[in-house]
Structure formats: C-alpha cells, structure tokens
Amino acid sequence: MKAAVYYNNKDIRIEDVPMPKIGGGELLVKIEASGVCGSDVMEWYRIKKAPIILGHEIAGTVVEAGAGVRRFKVGDRVTVAHHVPCNTCRHCLKGNHSVCDMLRSTNFDPGGFTEFVRVPAVNVERGVFLLPDNVSFEDGSFSEPLGCVVRAMRACRMEPGKSMLVIGSGMSGLLFIKLGRALGAGLIAATDVSPYRKQAAIAAGADFVFDAKDDVPALVRKGLGGGADIVVLSASRDSAIEQGLKSVERAGTVIFFAPKQPGETYPLPLFDLWRDNVTIVNSYASPPYDTMVAIDLIASGRVVVSDLVTHRLPLAQAGTGFRLAAEAGESMKVIIEPGR
C-alpha cells in the first residue's frame, strides 16, 4: 500500500509499505480522512523519529475484524485514538489519563497518512469510536483535536459566563473559541498577527480580535472590562506568554496549551501570580472521555468544524499538505484523503 513517509517538513515521500496484518482482537481500518495536526509539522519534535509515517487525526471504515472482536464489524464508520490509557494505574484512577504510561506508549500501525491502519487490541478496546450517521469522515477526524480542547477546558474549570482570551488563532485557537461559545462563555477575545487568522477568529465567534503586535493586555482590559477569566496560550513564544500572563484576571486561569521545545523555559512573574491567585494549567492529549464528548459536540452541531477545512488533498499530495500546515499562511485544517 502507499504511505506518505515523513523525513522533514519539506521532504514527504510517497512510498510503498507493507499492508498491515491483523491478529486476534484487532481491526484493519481503511483511512477515509486524516487531518494534518500542528504537532505533525513541529519539526524539532518529529525529526528525531524520522523517517516515520505520521497522522493521528483519523476516521475511516472497518474492513477486517480479528477473532474476538465483538463491538465492531466490517463496514462500521469509526474514528480511532492513537494513544489510549490503561484505566488502572494511579494516574488514571485519579482522572489524569494524559500522564498514563500506556497512553504515552500506544499507537496504531503505521500512521494515519497511509491507506490502511492496524488497530491493536488495546486500542480497539479503549480507543475506537463509532461515528454517528450524521458525522462525515472529515468531521470525524476532528474528534481528537477537539477532544484535546475539551480536556483543556475541563482542566481550567470552564463555566458559563467566564470571559476568555485566546492567544494565537490557529487551528487549536479556533476550536477553543468555538467550544467556548458552545459552553456559554462570556466575552471572548483572540489574537494573532495574521490578517487571515484574525478574520477566522471573528468567524469562529470571537467578540474582539487584536493584533498580537499591539498592547494586548490593555486592549483586553478595555474590551472585556477587565482581565480574562481564562487565558488560552495557543502560541508558545515568550512574547505571547507574557501577553497572556498580563491579561489574566485576578483568580483567573492560564492554560499552557502550545508546547515549547524540551529545555526551554517560560517567563513567569511568580510574585504577581501568587498575589493575584492565578492558576496555571497544562493540558495534553484527548483521553477517551474527552474524545466521546467531542464526537457528541460535533454530532449535535454545537461545535461546527466543517468550516475549518481549507484543503482536501489526495495522499499523493501529502507533501503539499505539510507545506501548507507548516507555513501557516492562508490555510487552516488540511485533510488528506488516501482514497482520492
């Protein structure tokens, strides 16, 4: 079968790879839609494992079910989580599935930017979800990225009426805006330097959109009538972090969502954070519960994701998809469709 093999952001090769063979308890899924995630083009993060077949935002059709599989059958439309928790370790039992060792070590084989994937038995048991009839494969591929945002919102104890500031209006930032609207947020402000992304933030539901080059904290306090109750850092530059920390309301919460490279540090004004009782939250991954919530949000129409897709490309043009995502120009979500 064909696969898009990652060597670096500018070197994606279409190669022949072996068709996965499934065993007992496993599934073979034909990929219908696979989204290019922002983490796929974080070259510092991916290059150390290259060459590798990436792709974890997937939706497809079950074409083969191994012995012992009871919950799924050939023909089922599904989305599949690449990482799944054990549900039994001390972290999982406390609800901290994202730091489970199993979640950090599991994956499907070989990756979403190919024609078929083998879903290991543990993923079948804990990370395969049926798509409702009204959810397209394309929309279904958003279950993972939206699930990550759902988890982050839970971590910061989002409640109706709370104001939000989203720093960085890329794909994740727009999902935060859309989810904030669905959850009853008060005023929502967003930032970016790109005119295209600032316009996208308005379309997603932001009440105010500021240029990141301006005095964001002052603009936020003027527009929201004070600091933001929840500040989402969907950008990891020091300048973005500084803006976010200066824009949070007393007793508010700052979510560190976009990662920095290992070893890099964050500029934290500890005295101000202490004095104003500001909570710092980190969030990573989309455990099963959050994925299921994401599917429900999409199926109910409370969070519309179809308008975020700007490019639909065949597998042969995966390199173009990576370039579009890495350049972060006038593109948002790029979907690879291996069947085209």
pLDDT at residue 340, as a whole number = 87
User: Distance between CA 142 and CA 306 in Å, rounded?
Assistant: 9
Looking at the structure, tell me whether residues 130 and 107 fall in a common domain. yes
Task: State the pairing for strand pair 128-130/188-192.
Answer: unpaired
CATH of the domain at 220: 3.40.50.720
Residue at 152 is within a domain: no
pLDDT at residue 49, as a whole number = 95
User: Distance between CA 58 and CA 80 in Å, rounded?
Assistant: 6
CATH of the domain at 17: 3.90.180.10
Residue at 17 is within a domain: yes
pLDDT at residue 193, as a whole number = 97
User: Distance between CA 253 and CA 236 in Å, rounded?
Assistant: 17
Task: State the pairing for strand pair 228-233/248-256.
Answer: parallel
pLDDT at residue 240, as a whole number = 96
pLDDT at residue 266, as a whole number = 82
pLDDT at residue 288, as a whole number = 95
If one counts the domains in the chain, the total is 2
Looking at the structure, tell me whether residues 134 and 181 fall in a common domain. no
Tell me the chain's radius of gyration from C-alpha atoms: 20
The low-confidence residues of the chain, meaning pLDDT below 70, are: none
Domain that holds residue 31: 2-147+286-337
Residues 6 or more apart in contact with residue 315 via CB below 8 angstroms: 2, 3, 4, 14, 113, 114, 115, 336, 337, 338, 340
Nearest CA-CA partner of 234 in 293, 174, 275 = 174
Q: How far is CA 254 from CA 141, 251, 268, in A?
A: 27, 10, 11
